[in-house]
Amino acid sequence: MSGSVQLRAIEALNRPSVADAVFDALHRQILSLELPPGTKISEVDVSKASGVSRQPVRDAFYRLSKLGFLTIRPQRATCVSVISESAVLQAQFIRTAIEAETVRIACSKLTSADHAVLDGLLDLQRKAIQEGRPLDFQALDDQFHREICERSGHGHAWEIIRENKAHMDRVRYLSLAFASNEAFEDHCKVMDAIRTRNAELAVSDMRTHLARIRTQIIRIRAEHMQYFAQEPVED
């Protein structure tokens, strides 16, 4: 019988790995359009700029490609993916189907302590708008929606949403130049419905909130045609 093995202490699991740090930096640059759609990007260049080996960069590239932010083609240049309007609308459909149900559950399941956490996020969103920090607002926006899923007992639902919304995220970022206050007001309405346990109103408000991107994308595409794929879009 083999003897037991004493494991060394595993330290600081919450600290990001090198690959996580590279992923986070590239994700932020792509989302903010500092690296706009169509930009060629290489493991070698990122490795040199970051002062890290190519392996964590390769890992970060793979994760970004799985989310839809990078297009990796063997023997050809890796590029920041152009925005697919059809992918945006597909993500909006998925989000609406999932979040309509999670917000319905939230109305009956969330406690006053849960309400306090969501209210705190709304306060931070308001401050981000006032201080002109769109990326922070978008992160807090995501956190608000994620908390509703998780506190309703369906954190896995947010993972499905996250895996499908990369194209949507860049359109949402561009929309914040003219629609951040509207997004914040929508969140407040959803929160009011959750707080009063009015499930039908919460579902209606969530649907209205998530549907706004369908009209916003028309304006954004007209202003930033170069960022979008040329494709037929189905209703």
- Give 96-142 pLDDT, tens digit per residue: 999 999 999 999 999 999 999 999 999 999 999 999 999 999 999 99
Please give the mean pLDDT across all residues of the chain: 90
Q: Which class is 18-80 in CATH? A: mainly alpha
Bridge partners of residue 83, in order along the sequence: 228
pLDDT at 208 over 90: yes
Contacts of 22 (CB under 8 A, 6+ apart): 46, 50, 52, 56, 57, 59, 60
The SS3 assignment for 10 reads coil
Find the angle CA(44)-CA(33)-CA(130) to the nearest 5 degrees.
135
Q: With a cut of 80, say whether residue 10 has pLDDT above it.
A: no
CB atoms within 10 A of CB 171: 23
Of the candidates 189, 195, 192, 186, the one whose C-alpha atom is nearest the C-alpha of residue 113 is 195
Strand ranges for the chain from DSSP E: 40-41, 70-71, 78-80
CA dihedral 24, 77, 225, 187 (to 10 degrees): -20
Cα 147 to Cα 186: distance, rounded to the nearest angstrom: 16
Q: Give the model's pLDDT for residue 16.
A: 56
For the residues of 76-115, what is the DSSP string, one character each? Answer: S-EEEPPB-HHHHHHHHHHHHHHHHHHHHHHHHH--HHHH
Tokens 């799985």 locate to 66
Query: The whole model's pTM is what?
Result: 0.84
pLDDT tens for 38-67 read 999 998 888 888 888 888 899 999 999 998
What tokens were used for 197?
Answer: 């346990």
Matching residue, tokens 């002109």: 132
CATH number of 85-224: 1.20.120.530
Q: What residue segments make up the domains of the chain, in order of their start?
A: 18-80, 85-224
- Contact present, 168 and 213 (Cβ < 8 Å): yes
How is residue 7 annotated by DSSP?
P
| Mean pLDDT for the stretch of residues 138-150 | 97
Q: Region 24-37: what's the mean pLDDT? A: 91
In total, the chain counts a number of residues equal to: 235
Report the side by side order of strands in the sheet with 70-71.
40-41, 78-80, 70-71
- Inform me whether the pLDDT recorded for 15 exceeds 50: no
Most distant CA pair in the chain, distance: 71
Q: What is the pLDDT of residue 17?
A: 86
Task: Judge whether 70 and 106 are in contact, CB under 8 Å.
Answer: no
State the pLDDT at residue 5. Answer: 53
Cβ neighbourhood burial of 207 (10 Å; 0-12, 13-18, 19+) = middle
